[in-house]
Amino acid sequence: MKVLGIESSCDETGVAVYDTALSGAAGLLAHAVYSQIALHAEYGGVVPELASRDHVRKLLPLIRQTLAEADLSVADLDGVAYTAGPGLVGALLVGAGVARSLAWALDLPAVGVHHMEGHLLAPLMEDDPPAAPFVALLVSGGHTQLVAVDAIGSYRLLGETLDDAAGEAFDKTAKMMGLPYPGGPQLAKLAETGTPGVFKFARPMTDRPGLDFSFSGLKTQVLLAWRNSDQSESTRADIARGFEDAVVDTLAIKCGRALDAAGCDTLVVAGGVGANKRLRAKLQAMCEQRGGRACFPRPALCTDNGAMIAFAGALRLEAGQREPAAVHVTPRWDM
């Protein structure tokens, strides 16, 4: 089954075609992402109305480009998948409207995908994919969740953030220290030049049982450290390193506990923060030490993309899921 995937929940327009006749990375016939970062940079964050308009502008050219790269025409498609939520309502409606219209015109089945299920299943698009049961750490700009995956489509929430998501904490901390938008990747880059241990921040909520997270206090600690420092370039890098180490350690400690609680030895990591090099290395080492395995998508499939939506949608369409041909999105949606 060749499925066209469309992602437009926030500030990335993503399009891909996944072919379930091939498995792993080979199944991804083509994918393209257009990032709106430059558009939103001057506002320091995503402006919903501008995001919707830019999706309108970019989506059809990106679909044409992706099909051309896969050497396919619309007549070769067997289904259409799109992000139905959670996300910005106007942005979601653009993707849903285009996907539903295409499916109707081509007489194809279409399915709305949960954005976080897309992230969660992204590592399964790589070669040697993990099999359920496993524990998934979902770390993005909007979510930080630990999920027990008993089977694909059967998810139990083990823990989540009580305030800021990990990516949000990266972005806000970066902004506080004057780094340009979007801050997360910039802060991670700066941390590479920082010295570990110069600034030591708390590992929030690791001193008590439970699998929930809280990152807003850590952000405040960093703000105080920054305000009381000489604010030099090297201090900024040292603080960035201290912050990154605190987030990475906290996530690793909770992941270890979640694997214990679920009785699993496979950890799957997905979402934008999953692109963080230090987090990848730490979780890999932690899982190997336990005799298990950590699985990640390639960095380009950690952040928002159409491939994960094509793949998650293809699994649902193959399982026979069909929805009525109505344009419906769910801006707030528990998985």
Q: Which of residues 241-270 bind Zn ion (CB under 5 A)?
A: none
How far CA 27 is from CA of 13, 45, 101, 109, in Å, comes to 20, 34, 25, 19
CB of 256 to ligand KG4, least distance (A): 20
Q: Per CB under 5 A, does 168 bind Zn ion? A: no
The vertex-273 CA angle with 67 and 178, nearest 5°, equals 110
Q: Per CB under 5 A, does 36 bind Zn ion? A: no
Q: Per CB under 6 A, does 185 bind ligand KG4? A: yes
- Among the listed residues 8, 36, 83, 140, the single contact to Zn ion using CB under 5 A: 140
Nearest to Zn ion of 59, 165 (CB atom): 165
DSSP letter for each residue of 37-106 = HHHHHTTTS--HHHHHHHHHHHHHHHHHHHHHHTT--GGG--EEEEEEESS-HHHHHHHHHHHHHHHHHH
CB 119 within 8 A of CB 270: yes
Binding residues are 115, 119, 138-142, 171, 184, 276, 304
- Among candidates 42, 33, 31, 41, which has minimal Cα distance to 3? 31
Q: Per CB under 6 A, does 112 bind ligand KG4? A: no
Q: Per CB under 6 A, does 188 bind ligand KG4? A: yes
CB of 308 to Zn ion, least distance (A): 9
CB of 304 to ligand KG4, least distance (A): 4
Nearest to ligand KG4 of 2, 58 (CB atom): 58
Distance, in Å, from the CA atom of 252 to the CA atom of 16, rounded to the nearest integer, reads: 32
- Among the listed residues 112, 304, 306, 309, the single contact to Zn ion using CB under 5 A: 304
Q: Per CB under 6 A, does 182 bind ligand KG4? A: yes
Pairing of strands 144-151, 134-139: antiparallel
Distance, in Å, from the CA atom of 203 to the CA atom of 189, rounded to the nearest integer, reads: 21
- Among candidates 169, 162, 166, 146, which has minimal Cα distance to 255? 146
- Among the listed residues 159, 251, 276, 312, the single contact to ligand KG4 using CB under 6 A: 276
CB of 171 to ligand KG4, least distance (A): 5
Plot region of 293 (φ>0 → left; ψ -120 to 50 → alpha; else → beta): beta
- Among the listed residues 85, 109, 130, 142, the single contact to ligand KG4 using CB under 6 A: 142
Q: Which residues form the interface with Zn ion (CB under 5 A)?
A: 140, 304
Q: Enumerate binding residues for ligand KG4 (CB under 6 A).
A: 140-142, 167-168, 170-171, 182, 184-185, 188, 271-273, 275-276, 303-304
